[in-house]
Structure 1
């Protein structure tokens, strides 16, 4: 069985758990970053593609920003869940590495916390570049590569972060997390920032902006305080190189 098939089967198996995890207010970290991410993307009126849309939360943000949104995911249960909340304007069951969409169709392609779950990152980035207009933008969020190689020593906001293992190289991660009555099995790949940058370069894309966002610690999100001391996510925008 290929790694790509294993990744797909993993998410199909835990789809119901992820939908509950993602949609429970202020549970997943997304709730503390959603407004900042919407601002990073910005208002627009063109065509946007949400690659690996999951249950549709990023698609809904893109619609609120004014885009005509196509939501894509290889897991049918996610597409059904996204459609159930009218998350996008169009839907397609498709993996990031094989998008059944025409060349140069989208003004904006978004990959929110997806590339860590893709076996062949260069192939996925090439597909995103293919469906992007020459003047379009690719917006990517990944879990910060530093985070994959350490842990906080305790639950307190001032607990030190302990580095474990080597930052370099590509490694599989597999972890079950239980928080506030919900359980989630995360499985994917950790790799250094250089690997993501090389995939972009190989696809003819150049990074034009980069952010290490701070969480919004509003009501119900105080548990995210530790991430005001080191970044949980890394966001960047890339654009096609001329010629």
Structure 2
């Protein structure tokens, strides 16, 4: 899906001031959970590379990973990463204990098998390493989908604003799916946040977690 949407997504993400949810809510709240730079940071599902371009200037050494060749090439050319891997999150081409931080910013909910990806994060992280993840909040889904919250449901949401269009495709899953996968992979949740768009908002848009690999 992301390879098909690569041109749309790049315009959406790189047009200055366009992705207001990212700029004013999602990233500022998420950044507060990210640990200080360490040995090596893996950006899991790096897309066109904006997370790397934000973390590298504050001291992170980064490896990016994405399955969409067009987006991986854009991340590689855009700077911020020491290297970008064309690979799946379920088979990360890094040795055990290679990194001390994995950032999975708005990527796990797009994957067919997030549990396996989380297990791979546990494998490449050193003991005590952190996984920081952001997903679409499990309650942030169409009303009809909430009729069966526990079902895994594919969604496609087209959005148009200021002349740009983007169809966001993902798989809605209950929160327990993610916490179960984290538990199975040896993680404990250190912090969980539901950034509120504004005081009038009735439900959160995103869910953030910082998790520590215990074994």
- TM-score normalised by L of structure 2: 0.92
- The CA deviation at 1:101 is 0.8
SS of the equivalent of 1:79 reads helix
Provide closer, same or farther for how the CA distance between residues 42 and 135 of structure 1 changes in structure 2, counting only shifts above 3 A: closer
Pick from 207, 210, 213 the counterpart of residue 237 of structure 1. Answer: 210
Q: Distance in 2 between matches of 1:23 and 1:78?
A: 12
Tell me which residue corresponds to 1:31.
23
Distance change >3 Å, CA 164–CA 200, structure 1 → 2: closer
1:6-155 aligned at under 5 Å gives the runs: 10-28=1-19, 29-32=21-24, 33-150=26-143
Q: Distance in 2 between matches of 1:226 and 1:13?
A: 37
CA deviation string 1:31-87 (max 9, x = no partner): 113233222214323200000000101112221231110011011111111122212
Which stretch shows the higher mean deviation, 132-141 or 43-52?
43-52
Question: Larger Rg: 1 or 2?
Answer: 1
Q: How many residues of Structure 1 are paired with residues of Structure 2 in the alignment?
A: 213
Contact 2:38 2:100 in 1 (8 A): no
Distance 1:56 1:130 in 2: 23
Q: 1: CA distance between counterparts of 2:3 and 2:86?
A: 12
1:201 corresponds to which residue? 183
Gaps in structure 1 of 5+ consecutive residues: 1-9, 151-161, 216-224
2-side partners of 1:86 and 1:17: how far apart? 20
Q: CA deviation at 1:227?
A: 7.6
Gaps of 5+ in 2: none
Measured in 1, the distance between the counterparts of 2:194 and 2:145 equals 19
Q: What is the TM-score normalised by the length of structure 1?
A: 0.82
Measure the CA separation in 2 of the matches of 1:208 and 1:226. 26
Deviations 1:155-196 (CA, angstroms, capped at 9, x unpaired): xxxxxxx98532222111122221221111221200110011
192 and 164 in structure 1: CA distance in 2 versus 1, 3 angstrom threshold: closer
Deviations 1:88-114 (A, max 9, x none): 121111111111111100010010111
